[in-house]
Amino acid sequence: MRHALAEYVAHNYAERNHQGIGNVLIEPAGAVGGATGRVLNRRRLGGLLSYYHRLAA
């Protein structure tokens, strides 16, 4: 249960857009929002939560 909650919190704060604050991330990673580079998928909780991001160019 602790692992599932930790994964959800990490996804919620760093990987999920929030409509209440202008559809932005609460704690974005350094290279978020790039327009070029290969698209990768980070899966959490066996694919229940997914986050798509680009590699830094």
Question: 12-30 pLDDT, tens per residue?
Answer: 877 777 767 777 777 766 6
Res. 5 pLDDT band, cuts 50 70 90: very high
Residue 8: pLDDT over 90: no
> What 3 state SS string does the chain have?
CHHHHHHHHHHHHHCCCEHHHCCECCCCCCCCCCCCCCEEEEEEHHHCEEEEEECCC
Q: How far apart (Å, rounded) are the C-alpha atoms in residues 33 and 44?
A: 20
> What's the pLDDT tens digit per position in 28-54?
666 666 677 788 888 888 888 888 877
pTM value surpassing 0.85: no
* Residue given tokens 């929030």 in the structure block: 18
